[in-house]
Amino acid sequence: MRNAKWLSIMLLFCSAATPILPHQTTAKSKSTKIEEKPALAREVQHQIQVLPFYSVFDYINFTVEGSKVTLAGQVVRPGLREQAEADIKSIEGVETVVNHIEILPTSASDDDLRDSVYRAVYEDKALERYAVRDNPPVHIIIKNGNATLEGFVQSPADKNLAATRTKAVPNVVSVRNNLEVHPERSPSE
């Protein structure tokens, strides 16, 4: 009888601990996902993130095919385009860099819109948590009064709110919302 009570207590304890196990499995799965990303792609992503003067008003993406890296996106400063290409070429394992990064036209009105959209998005109470890092995950691309949002947020509601806040800025001609929803990534990553 005493063994039966002990066994019941142990089963009860184990069943109560079970909800913890999925979190442990998920954490292990996440680290596996990160490790599955090819090392070369991780290094290219890192080099882009640490580019001098790479800001929320620039957006560079890339593809890796073997030892060839193709860069795309838009930047405000011409020097950033060349710096990105040079830094990616210096990565061990990269043999070819195809640079399709567009340099955005110089425009005082676009500069004003960048500042206004930045404030509209990042000063919103629900979205301000995305501004806490050196390179915030929501990138604001302004070209001839047209706004494009690039990067990621944690929820569809945040994605829609960022677009709504951008559309409300005076003199924004149009808004293209290319934000991706990544619930597992924190704003400070």
CB proximity list for 181: less than 8 A, separation 6 or greater: 152, 153, 154, 155, 156, 158, 159
Residue 64 resides in a domain: yes
157 inside domain: yes
The predicted pLDDT at position 13 comes to 36
Choosing from 57, 74, 103, the residue where a domain stops is 103
CATH number of the domain bearing residue 54? 3.30.300.130
Query: In this predicted model, what pLDDT tens digit does every residue of 98-112 receive, in sequence order?
Result: 999 999 999 999 999
| Assigned token pair, 131 | 């501004």
The verdict on residue 159 lying in a domain is yes
> Given a cut of 60, is residue 28 above it in pLDDT?
no
The distance from CA 173 to its chain's CA centroid, rounded to whole angstroms, is 25
Q: How far apart are CA 105 and CA 82, in angstroms?
A: 16
- Check if the beta carbon of residue 151 is closer than 8 Å to that of residue 139: yes
Which comes out higher in pLDDT, residue 126 or 13?
126
Q: Which residue has the higher pLDDT, 74 or 133?
A: 74
- The answer to whether the beta carbons of residues 104 and 141 sit under 8 Å apart is yes
Q: Is residue 26 part of a domain?
A: no
Average pLDDT over residues 120-133: 92
pLDDT band (50, 70, 90) for residue 132:
confident
Does 92 share its domain with 141? no
Which residue range forms the structural domain that includes residue 168?
108-181
Same domain flag for 112 and 75: no
More confident call, 133 vs 17? 133
Other Cβ atoms less than 10 A from the Cβ of 176: the count is 13
d(CA 12, CA 33): 33
My answer on whether 82 and 144 are in the same domain is no
The total of structural domains in the chain comes to 2
- Residue matched to tokens 């063994």: 3
pLDDT over threshold 80, residue 26: no
75, 103, 131: which is the final residue of a domain?
103
Please report whether residue 189 resides in a domain. Answer: no
Confidence of residue 186 (pLDDT cuts 50, 70, 90): low
**Domain final residue, candidates 56, 73, 103:** 103
Over the stretch 77-91, which tens digit does the pLDDT of each residue have? 999 999 999 999 999
Q: Are 37 and 84 in contact (CB under 8 A)?
A: no
Could you tell me if residue 186 is inside a domain? no
Quick: pLDDT tens for 138-185: 999 999 999 999 999 999 999 999 999 999 999 999 999 999 999 876
The CATH number covering residue 159 comes to: 3.30.1340
Confidence at residue 37, expressed as pLDDT on a 0 to 100 scale:
54
